[in-house]
Amino acid sequence: DIQMTQSPSSVSAFVGDRVTITCRASQGIGSWLAWYQKKPGKAPKLLIYAASSLQSGVPSRFSGSGSGTDFTLTISSLQPEDFATYYCQQANSFPPLTFGPGTKVDIK
Amino acid sequence: QLQLQESGPGLVKPSETLSLTCTVSGGSVSSDSFYWGWIRQPPGKGLEWIGSIYFSGSTYYNPSLESRVTISRDTSKNQFSLNLSSVTATDTAVYYCARQWMTANHFDFWGQGTLVTVSS
């Protein structure tokens, strides 16, 4: 199975800050990576797929990059509604599909 | 607009079988462009993929759960279902159904989720 790690596990930031979250796969997955935003009591929301493709309706302040084993999610200017937990998911090797452990973004 | 809705008991006894159904509206479980999947999140923990089913009926399961999981679909009702047998307290989680793109294996539409508690 492909294992996913994320760093940091949590980050505190101000509104307006640029936030970068890293995801690493235990083996190469090409560009087959997705990012989700998860808020308490809500379903996960797809932000990015295929490493860098922005899902329809997602604000352009979200962007993804990377390939192989190392990926990043960047929020260019953090907004109040962006405080949430972010998960990466490898989409290359199936089954199983695997998620990272999550990165919690909270208010500083 | 595609919508998914989970339904089923919120409380299951240990050793029994957890059964959930996902009703799809605004789309078809018979589409050859998608899988239909189940994902769960235990309280305070991360997301875990359980398994997925293709329009043909082919199923794919997480090896960690494979011995206890069955996913099926009812095309006449536009539903797909999850059965998880021999449950224990560690199966307590919010269970989500979701649509999975066949080509890129990401989940773009999700149900709201349903909490299933395993307790006697």
Q: Cβ of B95 under 8 Å from any chain A Cβ?
A: no
| pLDDT at residue B25, as a whole number | 97
> Which burial class, exposed, middle or buried, applies to B29 when counting CB atoms under 10 A from its CB (0-12, 13-18, 19+)?
buried
| pLDDT at residue A94, as a whole number | 84
| Residue segments in chain A with a per-residue pLDDT below the cut of 50 | none
Residue B17 pLDDT class (50, 70, 90 cuts): very high
A-chain CB neighbours of B52 within 8 Å are: 94-95, 97
- Which token pair is A40? 């308490």
Nearest-Cα residue of chain A relative to residue B115: A41
B-chain CB neighbours of A73 within 8 Å are: none
For chain B, percent of residues with pLDDT exceeding 90:
94
- pLDDT, tens digit, 9 for 90 and up, residues B50-76: 999 998 999 999 999 999 999 999 999
Cβ pair B63:A38 closer than 8 A: no
| pLDDT at residue B101, as a whole number | 93
Q: Please provide the average confidence, as pLDDT, over all residues in chain B.
A: 96
Nearest-by-Cβ selection for B49 from A36, A43, A98: A98
| Site from A97, A103, A104 to mutate, B interface, most B CB atoms within 10 angstroms | A97
- Which token pair is B82? 């999850």
- pLDDT, tens digit, 9 for 90 and up, residues B95-113: 999 999 988 999 999 999 9
Strands (E), A14-102: 19-25, 33-38, 45-49, 53-54, 62-67, 70-75, 84-90, 98-99
Backbone φ and ψ of B26, nearest 5°? 80, 10
Report whether pLDDT(B39) > 90. Answer: yes
**Strand B18-25 to B79-84 pairing:** antiparallel
B-chain CB neighbours of A55 within 8 Å are: 108
Q: Cβ of B51 under 8 Å from any chain A Cβ?
A: yes
Cβ pair B104:A32 closer than 8 A: yes
Report whether pLDDT(B23) > 90. Answer: yes
Cβ pair B105:A55 closer than 8 A: no
Q: Cβ of B62 under 8 Å from any chain A Cβ?
A: yes
